[in-house]
Amino acid sequence: MARGIARAVSFGGRATTGWCSYRRVTVAVCLGNLVAALLVLRSLTAPASFAPAAPNRGEVVQYTEEQIRRVEESIRIRRESEPVELVRAVKKLRKKFDQEVKRREELPLVLKQKVSYDIVRRLHDLEDNSSLAQQREVVESWRVEKLKDIKVASTRNQSILDLSSEETRMLKRALEFNWHMLMEDIGLWIPEEVTHTVQDDKPENEQEEEEIVAGPPLSPQCNAELHTDYDGAAVRWGLTHHKESAADCCQACLDQAKNAKPGELKCNIWVYCPSEFGCFSPDKYEHKHQECWLKQADHPKLNFKDKYSEPYRDAHPTAPVVVPWMSGVISA
């Protein structure tokens, strides 16, 4: 009895193992995946099947007044947003450009070289210091002469510059209608001469505006002079002596002269740098804003006044046009 049951179990186990092989399991899984993919694909395409059918060509579609109003409003907004003026301008420029392209005939390279050599030879006859106006006049006179030569040669059945009749016709058209384009093609460009004239439109009796000096007003005893640099023996070096304003610098000169000990130099000249960008000096130092130099001279002499001369600026390229310092000689 036990043996029979064991055989049955053994037989059933082998049958079960044979039916559940790896190949059959793989095929079953693939079939399941295929069925699942078909179901997903159907679910994705199902809404399209329920979409309303497009009307036939012969069928009249009825729109509501609200839909018609929205369509008309969208058309109106689209038309208003169109750059009509810009489109017209672009069309006009394109038309003009197309006309110029049609009129322009490309000259052969040999002909361009002959024209350029002839013009350069004519320009070489000018002096080295010739003006731009003279150069333009020479080039224009060459153009006029060549047009006359072409007309004369055409009446006599002759050629100029050893050109054929076709090249002569092309050159004549270029000189008459496409002269500026021809100049561009041969690389000839003469800039416009700019003449700068200063218009003095101020009334004769009008006084010039006084420059504003930062800080408190200066005492008449300071005798302040703008754009001025006085010479003298240094009582106090300005490199290490800064003051907030020109008035403070003048007061420092007055105080030093008042408190000077016997035998010491007494300040009677003050020199101040009011410029935020510093002040120029021909020495090796960098003179900064608010430098206050205290000097002494029995007979004060000017170093610079108002503007630096052109020869001085030629010798000192970093020198500005206007003297940046301000100075004063203390009155007794």
Q: What is the average pLDDT across 301-320?
A: 90
Whether the CB-CB separation of 249 and 270 falls below 8 Å is answered with yes
CATH number of residue 236's parent domain: 3.50.4.10
Q: What is the average pLDDT across 185-194?
A: 75
Percent of the chain residues past pLDDT 90, beyond the cut? 25
Tens of pLDDT, residues 191-225: 766 666 666 666 666 665 667 778 888 888 999 99
Residue 5 domain flag: no
| pLDDT at residue 147 is higher than 70 | yes
Tens of pLDDT, residues 57-82: 656 778 888 888 888 888 888 888 87
What interhelical angle do 109-124 and 165-177 show, nearest 10? 60
Q: What is the average pLDDT across 123-150?
A: 84
| pLDDT at residue 20 is higher than 70 | no
| pLDDT at residue 48 is higher than 70 | no
Do residues 228 and 323 both lie within one domain?
yes
The per-residue pLDDT for 206 is: 61
Cα–Cα distance for residue pair 288/87, rounded to 1 Å: 59
Q: What is the average pLDDT across 258-266?
A: 89
Residue 6 domain flag: no
Confidence of residue 16 (pLDDT cuts 50, 70, 90): very low
List, in order, residues 6 or more apart from 247 with CB less than 8 Å away: 215, 216, 217, 218, 219, 222
Residue 129 domain flag: yes
The per-residue pLDDT for 204 is: 67
Tokens 């060459």 sit on residue: 142
Q: What's the distance, CA 246 to chain centroid?
A: 41
The per-residue pLDDT for 50 is: 45
Tokens 């002909």 sit on residue: 111
| pLDDT at residue 142 is higher than 90 | no
Do residues 230 and 322 both lie within one domain?
yes
Q: What is the DSSP string of 279-319?
A: B--SSSS-B-TTBEEEEEEEEEEEEEESB--HHHHHH-TT-
The per-residue pLDDT for 295 is: 94
Q: Which sign, positive or negative, has the C-alpha torsion 53, 58, 62, 68?
A: positive
Do residues 239 and 180 both lie within one domain?
no
How many domains does the chain fold into? Answer: 2
Rounded mean pLDDT of the chain? 80
| pLDDT at residue 332 is higher than 80 | no
Domain that holds residue 287: 220-329
| pLDDT at residue 158 is higher than 70 | no
Confidence of residue 293 (pLDDT cuts 50, 70, 90): very high
The per-residue pLDDT for 3 is: 45
Which of 186, 212, 235 is at the close of a domain? Answer: 186
Tokens of 246: 């020109």
- Model pTM above 0.75: no
Instruction: Classify residue 175 as exposed, middle or buried by CB count within 10 Å of its CB (0-12, 13-18, 19+).
Output: middle
Percent of the chain residues past pLDDT 70, beyond the cut? 79
Residue 143 domain flag: yes
> 11-20, 60-69, 202-211, 234-243: which has the minimum mean pLDDT?
11-20
Do residues 224 and 325 both lie within one domain?
yes
Residue 210 domain flag: no
Do residues 144 and 245 both lie within one domain?
no
Residue 255 domain flag: yes
Residue 109 domain flag: yes
Name the residue among 237, 240, 319, 299 with its Cα closest to residue 271.
Answer: 237
Which of 135, 167, 186 is at the close of a domain? Answer: 186
Residue 137 domain flag: yes
Question: How many angstroms separate the first and last alpha carbons of the chain?
Answer: 150
